[in-house]
Amino acid sequence: MSWYTEQWSEDCKFSVGYEKHLHSEKSPFQQIDFYEGKEFGTFFTLDGLMMVNEKDEFIYHDMIVHPAFATNPDIKKVLVIGGGDGGTAREVLRYPGVEQVVLAEIDEQVFRLCQQYLPITAAGVEEDPRMELAFGDGLAYVQNAPDASFDLILVDSTDPVSVGEGLFTTAFYNECYRVLNDKGILINQHESPYFPEYAENMKKARTKIKKIFPVARVYQYHMPTYPSGHWLFGFASKSLDPLKDADADAWNAIGLQTKYYNTDLHYGAFALPSYVREALDSEE
């Protein structure tokens, strides 16, 4: 057995055993590697960082998608930025009321390789008639999109480095605000409060988003293979509040079976630990 190792902090590493290194290539945007192991099944990394694996992907994809739909069950037009593994689009396409899903992923190779090696997230996505694959930079996509053209934007991005940097800028958040309609919701990969490097990114994103969106909350989820395991999503909107406006009965009536998300956890996810609340509001 060989080991894949990710540096979580200066003095902390995380290793996963693997039997096969299935694929390795440098795309125009990043280094892409696929591995097959026992503990987390098939997984892939971008520039050496764990992205998605078969065993805990359900947690991330449940939590990036379902809280928004419990807050507005009538969502029809959805923009996924990043999300090249297909898992976020897969969850959105489970909603019969959804009419359009656009995937603005910068690196087509990520999606094509996930279709080959990670069908758990990518299978069936391209085939769905509601799906539009718009390979390219997510910032450029929103800059060219019409006003008020989406109900929901899901930013399923890498960290704010390299190609992902543009997705954590004030310019990007402003464009997202313009492209969302009056009931529009923005969900973004909001980093993590524990290790200092990620906590700095978390605070910076928070400061920028709070200046633009009247409703700006943060919620948490447990992600075993991400640094510290404690990760966050941002919930920003022009009007709808995930704690005041969520409609648990309407969401449960849709009848989706979900392995992580439920409408009780929905409220718990927004009840953040004190040190996280303090850190998020320390920038005010």
| Distance, CA of 15 to CA of 49 (rounded, Å) | 11
Mind telling me the catalytic residues? Answer: 156
156 is in an annotated binding site: yes
Q: Where do runs of H (alpha helix) occur along 93-224?
A: 108-117, 119-122, 138-144, 170-179, 196-212
Cβ nearer to ligand SAM, comparing 124 with 166? 166
Can you tell me which of 59, 106, 215, 218 binds ligand SAM, judged by CB under 6 A?
Answer: 106
* Residues in binding contact with ligand SAM, number by CB under 6 A: 25
24 is in an annotated binding site: no
Report CA-CA distances (Å) from 62 to 85, 131, 173. 14, 19, 23
CB 79 within 8 A of CB 246: no
| CA contacts within 13 A on the Cβ side of 179 | 25
Cβ nearer to ligand SAM, comparing 55 with 183? 55
170 is in an annotated binding site: no
Does 193 bind ligand SAM (CB under 6 A)? Our answer is no
105 is in an annotated binding site: yes
Q: How far is the CB of 224 from ligand SAM (least distance, A)?
A: 13
Does 218 bind ligand SAM (CB under 6 A)? Our answer is no
Token pair for residue 77? 């037009």
138 is in an annotated binding site: yes
85 is in an annotated binding site: yes
Cβ nearer to ligand SAM, comparing 172 with 251? 172
Four-CA torsion 75, 123, 102, 165, nearest 10 degrees: 110
Can you tell me which of 42, 158, 188, 201 binds ligand SAM, judged by CB under 6 A?
Answer: 158
Q: How far is the CB of 1 from ligand SAM (least distance, A)?
A: 25
What is the greatest pairwise CA distance in the chain?
Answer: 53
Can you tell me which of 72, 157, 188, 237 binds ligand SAM, judged by CB under 6 A?
Answer: 157
| Distance, CA of 77 to CA of 97 (rounded, Å) | 9
Can you tell me which of 34, 37, 53, 84 binds ligand SAM, judged by CB under 6 A?
Answer: 84
DSSP annotation of 29: S
R_g of the chain computed on alpha carbons: 18
Does 164 bind ligand SAM (CB under 6 A)? Our answer is yes
Q: Which of residues 28-57 bind ligand SAM (CB under 6 A)?
A: 46, 51-52
Q: Draw the binding track, 115-144, toward ligand SAM (x: CB under 6 A; -: no contact).
A: ----------------------xxx-----
Q: How far apart are the first and last CA of the chain?
A: 49
Cβ nearer to ligand SAM, comparing 52 with 215? 52
Token pair for residue 231? 């990760």
| Amino acid sitting at position 282 | S
Binding residues (CB under 6 A) for ligand SAM: these are: 46, 51-52, 60, 81-85, 104-107, 110, 137-139, 156-158, 163-164, 166-167, 189
